[in-house]
């Protein structure tokens, strides 16, 4: 007993590791059982959860009240308290989400077009669940329901690890989920809400490669960067949405004006918001003063290159730091470029690979931009704020990925599945 | 200058890091240029390499002779020396491979079925290169050509890091590749052969997440496990091929016999070889003695569960270690199971997730096995040794993946690409 402090630390680490391992093992066992779960059972579970959310409203709001009290005691900003609140409206939105996901077509089991090889064997691919998905998120308790629903519908087992601010709310929502799974005869470990907010648990989960197949972090850039540094389990994530709109020489300037305004002002805080506007020098004089006036009326601060500053008075200088920044604020960086080539190079250098758009009526320019810009979404004549699974027709979205492997851009149910090769023969032999 | 030794080590580490960084930066720059490379240029480069392989045969074999001399000096096993040799036949095979890959359809730019959303904007996906691919491999110099060709055809930039045994051969092949790229007007850094066999370089490459998008290790399990432990860059890999054939109660026993023999004996050393045979107890007595006789005639050692031992004399006992082992040798483990459920459970517990097959004439059994067995390839009435990109019709294969994310099973050109979302509108706005 020479160093009791270090022994205590060791004991805590051990117990955290054991807790992570138990979550992982239970999830893996549940994932195996989920392989034979028909869509009728998955949808029934989601509908049962929807019903229980409404029936259990009082208990949920009582649990939520404990979190809200702690939040006020800790002087959390009003916006955070607002997100944390399980109001009647928030619960109604979650209920509707469950019903909507229940009604979506099952992504599991879908078989691709298959081919018959010269020897007569048939080769195809079948969509299957990814396996075990970990979700690590911050204060919004609605993520507990939304993420659980999408992962369950796609046949996965899920480990949910929410923030300490929403601990009581998440535990209560976890009970609703377990009860719904039980109602439908599905394994209750198919969705587990971690019963501790011990910070060490996150570090254990992101290295549990044997039992967790992918982790989806939902939260601020700080959380995600920290997880990425520690993780051995693959993360499905994006860090930044530094999105660009390029107004080409052949743009319809009315469309360009409206697209740029919408891309910047639809909502300042979402990842698809335009952060830098690139304008071809041939049309900069015709579009920039008018566009600047509209944006300023809406309270947007403008920062620009020298040419922009020459065309619009009162614009501050944009530096390399501006080109690199996802403002998430009513600020816009503007650069006048010599040509399409320079626009593509600017994007290659500064973009975070999220979403970019060209405004042009010229087909070769549009085609070249869409081929050569290497981001997860590339648009023609659309504002970048369309970057959203619902808008793409995915029905729902677990998040947006700027990874290059697996799922890119908005990730819906299909992104929560993988495939296996399925071959059928009649005794063909090799060699 | 108090600790010159440590300063020297530090200097070496610094220079290794700088070398990795330079490879990565050059590759990233080349990858950007490759985004606009048409298939005509990529194919022309591959055909030019094929021609230069034949024309430059003498220089290649001279470089190879240096490696062979060192190999003999170091008493490398004959099989390794054989693999290392750039014989006329080996060069002819590589030449044919280049021509074949040149002739394959370009995977880049393919657009999926697209949909038109209610607001009129069109949403689809376009296949694009993964970006920068690192290949880390052992003694076979043919990988230098094969991997370079597949990665180039799919529009990627590649960093090749071969083993020290093949250093001179790989450098000479790298010259052929560079010359071929130059002939076709493509960036010469699109394929880089690392100019050092410093072991530290591998450690640097697998953590260079900013410049390398995926690493494909080719080699023994030891190499791959070591890389997996260190890597921050995603690996496209498999560790083990512990493959199973299950002979169901409703199997056609003649087919079952031939499939099992082929699965075990087609080649012992490939990852698709059957390592454990599972047999339903209702047919074990009818099939096992006959099958055992055939396998023993071919020199296969049999190890079995108690029931197997009771049915076939002279079979040694199989332990948990046998169920877990990829022998890659003429050894087969055999277990009699009570039913399909027990077969699925055995596979879930012991399989490496590579390839499994059921032999049955019963449709529900086949369907259930194919749905519930969670491996990268699942067969009906076929030997597991079909696990190969050529057999699946992929035309060529960079390797086999047991990853769950991105590409699973045999990986061809498509597995070396990813997709981006492409949206086309005419000024639609959000909200």
Could you report the per-residue pLDDT of B376-393, keeping only the tens digit for each?
Answer: 999 999 999 999 999 999
In the 8-state DSSP scheme, what is residue A430? -
Say yes or no to pLDDT of A1 above 70.
no
User: What SS3 class is residue A350?
Assistant: helix
Over pLDDT 70: what percentage of chain B? Answer: 98
Q: What is the dihedral of CA B94, B97, B102, B108, to 10 degrees?
A: -110
Contact A152, B413 (CB under 8 A): no
Give pTM, 2 decimals: 0.94
% helix / strand / coil in chain A, to the nearest 5?
50, 20, 35
**Mean pLDDT calculated for residue range B268-288:** 97
- Closest by alpha carbon to A88, among A62, A57, A67? A57
- Closest by alpha carbon to B395, among A422, A113, A115? A115
Write out pLDDT tens, residues B348-362. 999 999 999 999 999
In the 8-state DSSP scheme, what is residue A252? -
Over pLDDT 70: what percentage of chain A? Answer: 98
Backbone angles phi, psi at B78, to 5 degrees: -55, -35
Name the one residue in this structure whose structure tokens are 């690392």: B194
Shortest Cα–Cα distance, A256 to chain B (Å) = 8
Contact B218, B139 (CB under 8 A): no
> Residue A6's pLDDT is what?
55
- Pairing type for strands B122-129 and B417-424 reads antiparallel
In the 8-state DSSP scheme, what is residue A108? T
Verify whether the Cβ–Cβ distance B252 to A422 is below 8 Å: no
CA–CA separation, A83 and A141 (whole Å): 8
Shortest Cα–Cα distance, A74 to chain B (Å) = 36
Shortest Cα–Cα distance, A237 to chain B (Å) = 13
The set of residues, in sequence order, having a beta carbon less than 8 Å from that of A345 and lying 6+ positions away, is: none
Verify whether the Cβ–Cβ distance A405 to B117 is below 8 Å: no
Q: How far is CA B136 from the centre of its chain?
A: 12
Chain B environment of A372 (Cβ under 8 Å): 35-36
Verify whether the Cβ–Cβ distance B423 to A380 is below 8 Å: yes
Write out pLDDT tens, residues A109-167. 999 999 999 999 999 999 999 999 999 998 789 999 999 999 999 999 999 999 999 99
- Mean pLDDT over each residue of chain A, to the nearest integer: 95
Contact B427, A255 (CB under 8 A): yes
CA–CA separation, B392 and B284 (whole Å): 31
Q: Tell me which long-range contacts B78-84 makes (C-beta under 8 A, separation of at least 24).
A: B80/B139, B80/B165, B83/B139, B83/B140, B84/B139, B84/B140, B84/B141, B84/B165, B84/B166, B84/B169
Verify whether the Cβ–Cβ distance B421 to A259 is below 8 Å: no
Chain A environment of B267 (Cβ under 8 Å): 431
Q: What is the dihedral of CA B276, B280, B285, B289, to 10 degrees?
A: -20
CA–CA separation, A150 and B310 (whole Å): 50
> Residue A138's pLDDT is what?
86
Contact A162, A192 (CB under 8 A): no
Cβ atoms within 10 Å, residue B280: 23
Chain B environment of A422 (Cβ under 8 Å): 370, 377-380
Verify whether the Cβ–Cβ distance B427 to A381 is below 8 Å: yes
Contact B242, B325 (CB under 8 A): yes
Shortest Cα–Cα distance, B233 to chain A (Å) = 10
Write out pLDDT tens, residues B319-328. 999 999 999 9
Facing B406 at nearest CB: one of A371, A406, A427: A406
Chain A environment of B374 (Cβ under 8 Å): 32, 35, 128, 131, 420
| Domain A14-230, CATH among 3.40.605.10, 3.40.630.20, 3.40.50.720, 3.40.50.300 | 3.40.605.10
Give the domain B243-391 fold: Aldehyde Dehydrogenase; Chain A, domain 2 (3.40.309)
Chain B environment of A342 (Cβ under 8 Å): none
> Residue B6's pLDDT is what?
55
Verify whether the Cβ–Cβ distance A266 to B115 is below 8 Å: no
Facing A405 at nearest CB: one of B109, B371, B406: B406
User: What SS3 class is residue B409?
Assistant: strand
Chain B environment of A418 (Cβ under 8 Å): 404-405, 408
Supply the angle between the helices B167-183 and B57-73 in degrees, to the nearest 10. 160
Facing A424 at nearest CB: one of B348, B380, B420: B380
Say yes or no to pLDDT of A393 above 50.
yes
A243, containing H or E segment: strand A243-247
- Most A-contacting residue of B423, B424, B428, B431 (CB-CB within 10 A), to test interface: B423
Shortest Cα–Cα distance, A303 to chain B (Å) = 24
* Chain B residue whose CA is closest to A425: B381
**Cα→Cα distances B343→A141, B279, B351, Å:** 41, 8, 11
CA–CA separation, B24 and B194 (whole Å): 11
Contact B115, B199 (CB under 8 A): no
**Cα→Cα distances B94→A283, B52, B415, Å:** 53, 11, 21
- Closest by alpha carbon to B149, among B234, B40, B47? B47
**Cα→Cα distances B375→A115, A412, B371, Å:** 20, 23, 10
Facing A115 at nearest CB: one of B262, B368, B393: B393
Q: Which CATH superfamily is domain B8-230 in?
A: Aldehyde Dehydrogenase; Chain A, domain 1 (3.40.605.10)
Say yes or no to pLDDT of B5 above 60.
no
Chain B environment of A391 (Cβ under 8 Å): 117, 430
Kindly state the tokens that stand for B258. 């031939």
Facing B418 at nearest CB: one of A128, A405, A430: A405
- Mean pLDDT over each residue of chain B, to the nearest integer: 95
Kindly state the tokens that stand for A359. 């405004």
Chain A environment of B266 (Cβ under 8 Å): 429-431
Verify whether the Cβ–Cβ distance B420 to A376 is below 8 Å: yes
> Residue B395's pLDDT is what?
87
Write out pLDDT tens, residues B58-97. 999 999 999 999 999 999 999 889 999 999 999 999 999 9
Contact B331, B359 (CB under 8 A): no
Verify whether the Cβ–Cβ distance A421 to B406 is below 8 Å: no
**Mean pLDDT calculated for residue range A360-383:** 97
* Chain B residue whose CA is closest to A352: B210
**Mean pLDDT calculated for residue range A291-320:** 97
CA–CA separation, A157 and A177 (whole Å): 12
Backbone angles phi, psi at B366, to 5 degrees: -60, -45
Facing A423 at nearest CB: one of B379, B418, B431: B379
What is the domain partition of chain B in residue ranges?
8-230, 243-391
* Chain B residue whose CA is closest to A386: B430
* Number of Cβ pairs < 8 A linking chain A and chain B: 196
Shortest Cα–Cα distance, B273 to chain A (Å) = 11
In the 8-state DSSP scheme, what is residue A235? B
Verify whether the Cβ–Cβ distance A430 to B386 is below 8 Å: yes
Say yes or no to pLDDT of B3 above 50.
no
Write out pLDDT tens, residues A49-65. 999 999 999 999 999 99
Q: DSSP string covering B245-310, please?
A: EEE-TT--HHHHHHHHHHHHHS-TTSTTSEEEEEEEHHHHHHHHHHHHHHHHHTT-EEEE-HHHHH
Cβ atoms within 10 Å, residue A73: 8
Facing B123 at nearest CB: one of A109, A128, A393: A393
**Mean pLDDT calculated for residue range B163-179:** 96
Facing A425 at nearest CB: one of B379, B392, B428: B379
Say yes or no to pLDDT of A2 above 50.
no
In the 8-state DSSP scheme, what is residue A160? E
Q: Does residue B12 or residue B211 have the better pLDDT?
A: B211
**Mean pLDDT calculated for residue range B309-323:** 97
Shortest Cα–Cα distance, A73 to chain B (Å) = 37
**Mean pLDDT calculated for residue range A303-321:** 97
> Residue B4's pLDDT is what?
45
Going A363 to A366 to A371 to A376, the CA torsion angle's sign is negative
Verify whether the Cβ–Cβ distance B427 to A255 is below 8 Å: yes
- Closest by alpha carbon to B49, among B192, B186, B179, B185? B179
The residue ranges of DSSP E strands in B92-250, in sequence order, are: 115-116, 122-129, 132-137, 157-161, 191-193, 214-218, 243-247
- Most B-contacting residue of A355, A357, A386 (CB-CB within 10 A), to test interface: A386
Q: How far is CA B188 from the centre of its chain?
A: 25
């Amino acid at each position: 007993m020479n160093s009791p402090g270090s022994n205590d630390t060791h004991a805590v680490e051990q117990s955290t590791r054991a807790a992570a391992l138990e979550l992982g093992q239970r999830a893996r066992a549940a994932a195996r059982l989920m392989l034979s779960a028909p869509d009728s059972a998955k949808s029934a579970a989601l509908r049962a959860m929807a019903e229980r959310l409404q029936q259990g409203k009082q208990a949920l709001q009582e649990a939520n009240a404990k979190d809200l009290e702690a939040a006020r005691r800790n002087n959390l900003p009003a916006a955070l308290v607002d997100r944390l609140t399980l109001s009647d409206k928030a619960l109604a939105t979650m209920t509707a989400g469950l019903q909507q996901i229940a009604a979506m077509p099952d992504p599991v089991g879908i078989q691709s077009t298959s081919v018959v090889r010269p020897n007569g064997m048939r080769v195809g691919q079948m969509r299957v669940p990814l396996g075990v998905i970990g979700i690590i998120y911050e204060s919004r308790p609605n993520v507990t329901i939304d993420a659980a629903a999408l992962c369950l519908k796609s046949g996965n087992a899920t480990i949910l690890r929410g923030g300490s601010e929403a601990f009581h709310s998440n535990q209560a929502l976890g009970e609703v989920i377990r009860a719904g799974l039980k109602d439908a005869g599905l394994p209750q470990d198919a969705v587990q809400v971690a019963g501790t907010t011990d910070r060490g648990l996150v570090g254990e989960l992101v290295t549990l490669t044997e039992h967790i197949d992918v982790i989806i972090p939902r939260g601020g850039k700080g959380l995600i960067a920290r997880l990425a540094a520690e993780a051995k389990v693959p993360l499905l994530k994006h860090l930044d949405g530094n999105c660009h709109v390029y107004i080409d020489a052949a743009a319809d300037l009315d469309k360009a004006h409206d697209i740029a305004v919408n891309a910047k002002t639809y909502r300042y805080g979402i990842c698809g918001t335009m952060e830098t506007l690139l304008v071809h020098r041939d049309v900069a004089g015709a579009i920039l003063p008018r566009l600047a006036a509209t944006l300023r009326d809406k309270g947007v601060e403008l920062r620009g290159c020298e040419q922009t500053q020459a065309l619009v008075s009162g614009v501050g200088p944009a530096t390399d730091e501006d080109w690199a920044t996802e403002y998430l604020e009513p600020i816009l960086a503007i650069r006048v470029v010599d040509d399409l080539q320079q626009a593509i190079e600017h994007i290659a250098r500064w973009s975070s690979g999220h979403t970019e758009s060209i405004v042009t009526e010229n087909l070769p320019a549009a085609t070249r931009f869409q081929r050569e810009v290497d981001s997860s979404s590339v648009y023609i004549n659309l504002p970048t704020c369309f970057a959203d699974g619902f808008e793409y027709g995915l029905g729902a979205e677990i998040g947006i990925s700027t990874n290059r492997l697996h799922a890119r851009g908005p990730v819906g149910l299909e992104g929560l599945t993988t495939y296996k090769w399925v071959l059928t023969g009649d005794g063909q032999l090799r060699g």
